[in-house]
A and B are shown apart, each in its own frame.
Chain A
Amino acid sequence: MLSIENLHASIQDDQKTKAILRGINLIVKPGEVHAIMGPNGSGKSTLANVLAGRDGYDITEGNVHFEGVDLLAITPEERAALGLFLAFQYPVEIPGVNNMYFLKAALNGLRKHRHLEPLDAMDFLKTIRSKIKEVGLDETFLNRAVNEGFSGGEKKRNEILQMLMLEPKLAILDETDSGLDIDALQMVAKGVNSLRNAERSIILVTHYQRLLDYIVPDVVHVMANGQIIKSGDKSLALELEAKGYGWIEGSSS
């Protein structure tokens, strides 16, 4: 599904080059759920953004293949068309653009890339009405502007709604759990779990073990200073929770 080899990325900050990713290696197989944990500034979100193709990063070394395609050579929309989805840490507001219209345009955009007919309007409406219930948002959110005036929790639920509608092959959730109360967290987890199957992979970027109580990962990675310094099964997350990041950072140096 996804293979990352020796990925290095940096940003230009005050005319100085600052390395953020310093040799990431990661293989995600179909059906697997990977959690990437680590302290602030370890490069977790950068990794998610680089995979999705956000501007502003220089890839200095390494390569990424997704379903056999050189991911770094194609545009963000082409990556989306291949089935890569990023749930944003800070979902963006688009004033004046109807939420449902946006989602429909996105879905039909993906379908066009895949040489499929646009979805029938009635089928779309039926599907979205059932999915929006799953994420616990009122139907009125469909007719509001994309994320405009939504609370933090509502934005995150809206991300999950988009994910459920777009049915990606690889979903990357960038700190989707941050700022959520326990009810919202469970709702998000339920949504993600409903998508789990043998063909679909999920990468959870998170600070806290809490989310992993609800979405049980196959593999847990710990990032620090732009590298994956430790990988293990779900018990690694619990150990981290108990001992703190200092434990692992200390042990690696």
Chain B
Amino acid sequence: MANQFLKQVVNKNYEYGFVTAIESDALPPGLSEDIVREISRRKNEPEFMLNWRLKAYRHWLTMTPPEWAHLHYSEIDYQSIIYYSAPKSKTDGPKSLDEVDPKLLETYKKLGIPLHEQGKLAGVAVDAVFDSVSVATTFKAKLAEVGVIFCSFSEAVQKYPDLVEKYLGTVVPYRDNFFATLNSAVFSDGSFVYIPKGVRCPMELSTYFRINAANTGQFERTLIIAEEGSYVSYLEGCTAPMRDENQLHAAVVELIALDNAQIKYSTVQNWYPGDEEGRGGIFNFVTKRGACRGAHSKISWTQIETGSAITWKYPSVILQGDHSIGEFYSVALTNNYQQADTGTKMIHIGKNTSSTIISKGISAGFGQNSYRGLVRVAPTAVNARNYTQCDSLLLSSTCGAHTFPYIEVKNSTAQVEHEASTSKIGEDQLFYCRQRGLSAEDAVSMIVNGFCKQVFRELPMEFAVEAQKLLEVSLEGSVG
């Protein structure tokens, strides 16, 4: 009986599954050197970019997909994917928000992402990426007043090629891994952020990724540079239409924090997860890494992963600067036949570096949820500290939770702590809540939210409520 209630509670429909009818300008499917050159040509890129893409492409040809993750999926046919698709109206790029195709504005409005500079999220600047290109970025002028650059990656390549050339690939090199290398060859757009020395970014920055076109992969690249003593909080959100075929999303995010700089990066990932039978959904293979280059710098990752058929991502921090701090807060939810293999890497190199990992995995239906994390303390990392806590909550008897922690310590002054727990949502807890008058739905969402609280409180305020709601939606009907 309780299980039936859980089942009803956990399955609600995916609200963002609609398709926008908009003409697009796409390259033919398949990957070749010509396609790479064509992407670069369309984006009118300087030579260093084309060369970098080609090096990546040639290296990619020598690689094979990783197989170590606890994930099962049919092989991806990389020749059937369209690597570039842009809404047609955007050939020259809108000069201002007024020029953005109303259909696109409507799409983002439907998704709850305002592309006008007032209203509910007036304190948040948004870069909207639709399929392969950025269609609008808000609040650019206001940000420019304090010297903050927030624009699409394509624009950055045109306007700030020196910054791009200096930092691109310095955290995630083009040879890094199969998916990152693929991204390096074909990435089409993304966001670029530069916070000058001593500036505290006056508003939240946000990128909203939307896959619309069919058979299209989304390969975006985000680069955030925080100069000495600066601060930025950045959030990304993602959705896609409901389709029976799987679609590939292989993104790369690089963060660079110099002395005393802080970057807070939050993700609310809600790609289409596939249907109840496990048909369709996004394959999400993402490489996210931050480098704490400077002393006393700090990088904090917070992720709420509720979507995608497959999630493969390990937002990591390289703690190079002395006294630098890395944090990873994660809620990953897998329902129906979703699979997630996610976690982090904390690489301690500098002295007195510290890292915190809080991972909350929730599995329902037939979902499989794995935490995979590496804590590495290099011989140079005197007095490194790490605290790791991994908790799993099971909402059904058919789902799975797995933990794969790797700890490598090469300095005897290090202190590394690891705590893990797995619990099944208590029938006792449910009954207790219901006896007090809460509906089964409210009870489950309250218990799950309580479980995730440590992570939710790390989210920017504007999004904490959204994340809670998202979790409720993703959970509806999940447990059996």
Contacts and interface: CB of A to CB of B under 8 A. Distances in A.
Interface in B427-470: 427-429, 431-440, 442, 446-447, 449-454
Contacts of B428: 90, 92
B366 to A, nearest CB: 23
B446 A105 contact: yes
B76 interface: no
B451 to A, nearest CB: 6
Interface in A66-83: 75-77, 79-81
A54 B454 contact: no
Contact of A96 (B2, B427, B436, B452): B452
A75 B2 CA distance: 11
B437 A109 contact: yes
Nearest to B456: A96
Contact of B437 (A92, A97, A113): A113
B52 to A, nearest CB: 45
Interface in B143-195: none
A71 to B, nearest CB: 13
Contacts of A77: 434-435, 437-440
Contacts of A113: 437
Contacts of B453: 96-97
10 contacts: A77-B440, A79-B435, A88-B432, A93-B429, A96-B454, A97-B447, A107-B437, A109-B437, A166-B436, A166-B437
A38 B449 CA distance: 40
B123 interface: no
A124 interface: no
Contact of A53 (B426, B435, B446): B435
A55 B434 CA distance: 12
A52 interface: yes
Given A77-B438, A105-B438, A109-B437, A96 B432 contact: no
Contact of A55 (B431, B446, B450): B431
Interface string A231-251: 000000000000000000000
Given A55-B1, A55-B427, A94 B439 contact: no
Nearest to A77: B434
A86 B435 contact: yes
B201 to A, nearest CB: 30
B432 A91 contact: yes
Contact of B434 (A75, A85, A91): A75
A92 B451 contact: no
Nearest to B431: A54
Nearest to A83: B437
B83 to A, nearest CB: 43
Contact of A92 (B429, B452, B454): B429
A65 to B, nearest CB: 19
A208 interface: no
A96 B393 CA distance: 13
A106 interface: yes
B88 to A, nearest CB: 48
A96 B450 contact: yes
B435 A109 contact: no
B82 to A, nearest CB: 43
A80 B436 contact: yes
A162 B436 contact: yes
Nearest to A82: B437
A94 B427 CA distance: 12
B50 to A, nearest CB: 51
Contacts of B432: 88, 91-92, 94
A160 interface: no
9 nearest CB pairs, A to B: A96-B450, A97-B450, A96-B453, A106-B436, A80-B437, A92-B432, A110-B437, A76-B434, A109-B437
Contacts of A90: 428
B433 A52 contact: no
Given A92-B429, A96-B452, 14 more contacts: A55-B1, A55-B427, A76-B431, A80-B436, A88-B432, A95-B451, A96-B450, A96-B451, A97-B447, A97-B449, A105-B446, A107-B437, A109-B442, A166-B436
A214 interface: no
